[in-house]
Structure 1
Amino acid sequence: MPRKLKILFLSLAGIFLCLFLFMTGMFFWMRGSLPQLTGSIQIESLQKKVEVIRDTDGLVTIKAQNTSDAYKALGFVHAQDRLWQMDFMRRAGSGRLSEVVGEATLNIDKFMRTLGFQKLVESNYEMLPPKVQKAFEAYSAGVNEYISNHASTLSPEFHLLNYQPEEWRPTDSLLWGRLMGLQLSDNFNRELLRQRLLQHLPTEDIDDLWPQDNNDPTIIPQLDLSKASQKEIFAGGHPLPWTLAPKDASNAWVVSGDKTATGKPILANDPHLALDAPGPWYLVRIETPDYTWAGASSPGVPFIILGHNSHIAWGFTTTHSDTQDLFIEQVNPDNPNQYLTPEGYKDFKEKIETILVKDQPSQAFPVRKSRHGPILTPVLSNSPILNNSGNKTDEHLLALAWTALREDDLTAQALYDINFATDAKDFAQAVKNFHSPQQTLVMADRQGNIQLMAPGRVPVRQQGDGRYPVSGWTQENDWIGIVPFKDLPQSLNPRDQKLVTANNKLIGDDYPYLIAKDWPNSYRAKRIHQLLDKKAKLSVDDNLAIQMDTLSIAALEMLDILSDTPAADLKSEAIKQKLSRWDGQLTLDATEPAIFYHWIYWLNQAAFGNLPTDASSFQTPNILRLQRRLVESPNSWCVYGEKLVNEDNCVAQMTESLRRVASNYTQLEKDNTWGELHSTTFQHQIFDRIPILGELLKLKIATPGGHDTVNRASPSMKSGNLWRFPNVHGPSYRAVYDLDNLDNSRFLIATGQSGNPLSKFYGNFLLRWRDGNYVKLDGKNTSGQNQRLMLNNK
């Protein structure tokens, strides 16, 4: 070998060896970020010893002698496994992400500062009774014990972003509730969309885009109030990314002992949220002399959010009530610091917020409030005020009124009281303080009672139905009160022995208040009712099977209508024949769902492809009910869509959409099952933005189901995804509670217990979650492989 070539070879070998040694050293150093799971740790604030047991799946059992120590231990354990997630949550809620992330999150921070969550939770905390404050203080002490005294390095995200976590404060835990309220309240986002659509469509066509489902199963026997006044102004879009933006859905049901094999109630619940890594829930069992809790905790919060307490079991779904209104405030043309009220011009309340930005100068911006709430216009996506130069001021601004922005919100107290309720009466008393967001709660107790309640503050409007922004300079559209708690939807021990809520309409037409004008469709609720009625006596296993059901009533109804579409060729006819034999099951290995959703994709383009700014708003999984409405009303079909063929005939557009599917029939039949096209990728807020590392740490799995199946798995229909319909929204948690023996209850979370990708518990639940392989939190797994950690007082 020539000498120069030999030197080059040795140099490259040396570089690769150094790189290998460096990467190996980094790996083992970062392995040190995994928490101590065995032995003992001294914690200063404990009253007595606490035992923390992790089984082979990472499921945690905390054994404490009192509730204060239990809260401290939970805070410590949450911090061990999910500290960065907790810190990201509080930074997001308080508008402080840019301090550690940089300019990329500046708009999120501005929006959160505008809402004022940090100041709000401080006021909320002062309203809580001492016993609840002490619970938050104990939890914070546990978190801070880990932050201050952890023996190892912190999880990788802290090193990638190069910062250290601050001390945890009790009010930080309350930020979780405000963020959840934001994710579960979609009203102002809908108002923004409708207002933008006014630039393109008449109001009657906009109304058609939210078809009413006249066959919704209702639970409790809405008075349709007068039309909202409208003023055409420009409205920007929702500024938050998918993870934080509003989303809908969840399932919950409960059946009485008369319908079960054991003679005691069974309750099931699966809340649907964005599919992130790590997920929002942490499974835990907490044992004290007086109570045993088991279920879903949320890192950052001291209470069980969804679960049982050895006396009752409970679950939540989103009610979809309209608790937000946008008010158009008229600015004084002679003084931009004032806006018009019924009593004349008044000054905006204004505060200067300063946001620290990593590696950039800090940014100060004004946050203004009117009598209705914070002014959102400057922080809406694509809002003109963001693009104006000089001193131009808009004549009108949008203010947000929202029940979740009240300083006397006591939802945290309600969660605390639910955790200690022992029967239906206690539960009903506890939820009186559940103020926001409005949720539909189901409960069962050991005495055999089943109950549904929809607590929360719902506004009573002077007029209007909350669908469009309304003028704020008169009193005509103001809120004049809150729906009394006693009049909110509720049911105790109904005659048909079951209660089902899947975001469907809760009330009948004779209900005296406006809860919402628009309700999600009822397909999941209908299917749950069908399955509950199949057997006279239901078991726990029967309810587990219902949660995993993948039949789409919506798809079958849509196919009944599409079957009349004229076929342009033999391949198109073959598509129709194949789909006519499909049973509506969206299983992993089925090919029919892939063909069906390709057809829906092209129908979607034909319906909305020419809406220049809002097409993406209708490239959504909830398209089936909407398209059914449009197909059934051919006069409105294809008016705003992309012309797939050069004809104005809507039937021709439908035929062409079928032909486009048929042109790829061979490839669809040969290469793609629904599971392959419909995989789920769990998004991580930091790792996914780093090349190579993001791919190495990605949690991805093929999934069954669809938007309208009980096993919710919403496929994205966005343009550009022609060959992929990724699952972007589904059950973050599943549970079925057996009130005959609560230790026989079953649980699942979507990813794993740990938030550290180097942990074996980071994604170990992925297959279990997909396939419905549930676990128990019974505290009886005494395997020698369990890891035991003793927390002792210093």
Structure 2
Amino acid sequence: IGGTIPGIPVVLTGRSSALGWGITSSYADDQDVYIEELNPDNSEEYRTPDGFKKFAKRASIITVKDADPITLTLRWTDNGPVLPGSHYNLAAITPPGHVAALNWTALDPADTSIAAAMQLMEAKTVEEGITAGEAYIAPSQNLTLVDVNTIAMKTIGALPARDAAHQSQGRMPTPGWIAANRWQGRLPYSANPEFLSPRGGIIGNTNNKTVDRPFPNHVSFLWGDTQRIQRWRNLMQRRQVHTRDSFIEAQLDTVSFTARSLLPLIGAELWFTGETAPEGTSERQRQRALTLLAGWSGEMNEHLPEPLIYAAWLRALQQRLIQDELGALAEEFDHVDPLFIERVFRDVDGAAAWCDVLQSAPKETCPDMARMALDDALIWINETWGTQLESLRWGDAHQATHDHQTLGEVPVLRYFMNIRQSTSGGDNTLLRGRTRGTGPDPFANVHGAGFRGVYDFADPDSSVFITSTGQSGHFLSHHYDDLAQLWRRGEYIPMSLDEELARAAPVGITKLVPEAE
């Protein structure tokens, strides 16, 4: 029992009577882009370490409604499929007479990931679960496992074996005809990070860095989290004994470690300074905002104004810090990088230089930038949400967007298909609610936990779960969105494997019968 993807016959995160498992993205560097040189005398060939070689080719026919079919010729190199120059603007970095190709573990023709997942469902112990993970190829995940005696976390998925002489270490596109840039197969499964029954008896992952190994045996150059893991550790260390309810509390926690650590830094010279400004002035609005933030706990609660003020301030601050140095490239950084801002305001290795605007004659300080950024944020808030700061609600700006991927853009239908909910949490809270970062609604909640589960192996039938919408994918069904409000409020439903309990009140029974050969 647990969370599945329609059409895939496996429980990706869930439990059996003997084993519980969950997955988080490992952020493994399992993709490389290569620049392949075409033979100037024959464009059907590309350069390899051993000379020119013909592309592998296959025709793909795409049928189009009310139109003639389109035939595309797909090409492969030894490094992987050739990508169109329009993908991610690859043409901008691809020289004339060259093409780009992608090598990715998920393109392995002998992908046994589904078989591995099915084997995991049959595992009875943590050790058997780890063994099942060896056949898993992609996309790489951190697999957390628990049985009645043991806990563990194992990175599953193929990790490329790269040459120590790789020109870019996989971080940038490289010439595909240079042997040192090509993958040397994959690392052995035993080399994947593994944590088995650690001291203290607790394992967790928030997409944070798990190991620190130098290239080429590293896992990733870019991890998904540096902040939420700090709050998780704090909650885990508060108790000597944890219960199902304390784990639910952690799963629903909305306190931002980032807010608690950065606000004292960026506001150090702004709190309660100067005389009270006249009502209606920008100075007075700034003082009101600072007064609210000074008494705030850092809880990203949907009903509070402080999370919106804080989020808008941090966003405006990073924009001011990088705009003059990066120009148009600054627009690519659409989410706040907490470590960058901390380094700047602590002046780590001279990072406070980012506070000075290069194009201006005065030398701006970091408190200057913090003050101006707060004014920027308040102007945006005033224009978007109104001038009454105390009446703001974070949940109005942080609505969860459960959009139907196919019918969500169809006029009229979209009002039935798409689900909108005011939500707590944010980019850096354990109750994840990653914001869009761009556009007119930069704080819309566009990425969160579609499935939450807490499994108690002291009393397995007390385990609970919730999904963010409902059990049915049909928008006319009562079960299309009947779990959505429970999910929003942080409530759960029972997760029992007792068949008699399930049969006691079914709304119907669906049988899937394989077609006879």
Corresponding position of 1:349: 56
1:702 and 2:417 aligned:
no
Look up the match of 1:656. 372
Contact 2:120 2:129 in 1 (8 A): yes
Q: 1:783 to 1:671 in 2, by over 3 A?
A: farther
- Tell me the distance in 1 between the aligned counterparts of 2:38 and 2:107: 23
Q: CA deviation at 1:379?
A: 4.7
Task: Report the CA distance between 1:513 and its aligned residue.
Answer: 1.3
CA distance in 2 between partners of 1:540 and 1:714 (Å): 26
Indicate the SS of the match to 2:180: coil
Call closer, same or farther: CA 1:312–1:785 in 2, change over 3 Å: closer
1:296 partnered with 2:296 = no
Once the two structures are superposed, residues 127-176 of structure 1 have per-residue CA deviations (whole angstroms, 9 ceiling, x without a partner) of xxxxxxxxxxxxxxxxxxxxxxxxxxxxxxxxxxxxxxxxxxxxxxxxxx
Aligned partners of 2:135, 2:354: CA distance in 1, in Å? 46
Letter aligned with residue 308 of structure 2: A
Please give the alpha-carbon distance, in whole angstroms, between the structure 1 residues aligned to 2:363 and 2:311. Answer: 24
Partner residue, 1:580: 294
What is the CA–CA distance in structure 2 between the aligned matches of 1:717 and 1:471, rounded to whole Å? 34
Distance 1:592 1:401, change over 3 A: same
Distance 2:260 2:510 in 1: 55
Counterpart in the other structure of 2:112: 410
Give the equivalent residue in structure 2 for 1:619.
334
| In 1: Cα distance, 2:502 partner to 2:99 partner | 62
| Matched residue, 1:175 | none
Q: How does 1:44-193 map to 2 (within 5 A)?
A: none
Name 1:310's counterpart in structure 2.
17
Q: Residue 582 of structure 1 aligns to which amino acid in structure 2?
A: W
Kindly report the root-mean-square deviation, in angstroms, between the aligned alpha carbons of the 2 structures.
2.9
Equivalent in the alignment of 2:431 = 711
Alignment partners' CA distance in 1, 2:215 and 2:456? 33
**1:684 to partner: Cα distance:** 1.0
More helix by share: 1
Report the counterpart of residue 412 of structure 2 in structure 1.
692
Task: Output the amino acid matched with 1:441.
Answer: L
Partner of residue 682, structure 1: 402
Local SS of the residue matching 1:375: strand
Once the two structures are superposed, residues 645-690 of structure 1 have per-residue CA deviations (whole angstroms, 9 ceiling, x without a partner) of 9967364444322223345567251442111111112111233222
Which shifted more, 498-507 or 781-790?
A: 781-790
Change (3 A) 1:551 1:476: same
- TM-score scaled to structure 1, two decimals? 0.58
Residues 329-728 of structure 1: pairs in structure 2 closer than 5 A: 329-384=36-91, 394-446=96-148, 448-462=149-163, 463-464=165-166, 465-509=169-213, 513-564=217-268, 569-609=283-323, 614-620=329-335, 622-631=336-345, 632=347, 633-637=351-355, 649=364, 651=366, 652-663=368-379, 667=387, 669-721=389-441, 725-728=443-446
TM-superposed deviation, 1:771: 1.2
Distance 2:511 2:258 in 1: 52
How has the CA–CA distance of structure 1 residues 598 and 428 changed in structure 2, closer, same or farther, with 3 Å as cutoff? closer
Deviation per CA, 1:102-129: give whole Å up to 9, x if none. xxxxxxxxxxxxxxxxxxxxxxxxxxxx
1:704 CA displacement: 0.1
Query: Is the aligned partner of 1:321 residue 2:31?
Result: no
Which amino acid letter does the alignment assign opposite residue 422 of structure 1?
K
Q: Contact 1:308 / 1:742 at 8 angstroms: preserved in 2?
A: no
CA–CA separation in structure 1 for the residues paired with 2:171 and 2:511 = 53
- What is the CA–CA distance in structure 2 between the aligned matches of 1:369 and 1:442, rounded to whole Å? 36
| Preserved CA contact (<8 Å) 2:267 2:370 | no
| Matches of 1:330 and 1:351, distance apart in 2 | 20
Q: Compared with structure 1, are the counterparts of its residues 588 and 550 closer, same or farther at alpha carbon in structure 2 (3 Å cutoff)? A: same
Q: 1:606 to 1:418 in 2, by over 3 A?
A: same
Equivalent pair of 1:563/1:580 in contact (CA under 8 Å): no
The alpha-carbon deviation at position 503 of structure 1 amounts to 1.0
Separation (CA, whole Å) in 2 of partners of 1:408 and 1:637: 52
SS at match of 1:758: coil
Shift of 1:759: 0.8
Map Cα deviations across residues 718-743 of structure 1 (whole Å, 9 max, x no partner): 1433xx61101100100011111211
Q: Aligned letter for 2:481?
A: G
Deviation at 1:638, TM superposition (A): 6.9
Tell me the distance in 1 between the aligned counterparts of 2:286 and 2:417: 42
Aligned-residue sequence identity (percent) comes to: 27
Per the alignment, do residues 337 and 768 of structure 1 end up closer, same or farther by CA in structure 2, a change over 3 Å counting?
same
Q: Which of the residues 456, 466, 470 maps onto 1:738? A: 456
Kindly provide the CA deviation profile for residues 613-668 of structure 1, in whole angstroms up to 9, marking residues without a partner as x: 64443113x5333433444412235769xx8x996736444432222334556725
What SS class does the counterpart of residue 482 from structure 1 fall into? coil
Offset, 1:748? 0.6
Report the CA distance shift for 1:671/1:573 in structure 2 as closer, same or farther (over 3 A).
closer
State the aligned residue count.
Answer: 489
CA distance in 1, matches of 2:206, 2:71: 43
Q: Which residue of 2 aligns with 1:751?
A: 469
Residues 616 and 719, structure 1, Cα contact 8 Å, conserved in 2: no
Q: Is the 8 A contact 1:716 1:726 kept in 2?
A: yes
Q: Which residue of 1 aligns with 2:278?
A: none
**Cα distance, 1:321 vs structure 2:** 0.8
Indicate the residue corresponding to 2:277 in structure 1: none
The change in CA–CA distance for 1:310 and 1:598 in structure 2 (over 3 A counts) is same
Secondary structure in 2 matching 1:329? strand
Distance in 1, Cα, partners of 2:72 & 2:363: 50
Cα distance in structure 2, aligned partners of 1:330 and 1:743: 60
C-alpha separation in 2, matches of 1:603 and 1:720: 18
Tell me the distance in 1 between the aligned counterparts of 2:253 and 2:510. 42
Tell me how far apart the structure 1 counterparts of residues 82 and 416 of structure 2 sit (CA, whole Å): 42
Deviation at 1:784, TM superposition (A): 7.0
Q: 1:617 to 1:420 in 2, by over 3 A?
A: same
Structure 2: which amino acid aligns with 1:461?
R
What is the rounded CA distance, in whole Å, between the counterparts of 1:792 and 1:763 in structure 2? 24
Q: Supply the AA of the counterpart residue of 1:588.
A: E
**CA distance 1:745–1:792, change in 2 (3 Å):** closer
In 2, Cα distance between the equivalents of 1:738 and 1:511? 39
Corresponding residue SS for 2:401: strand
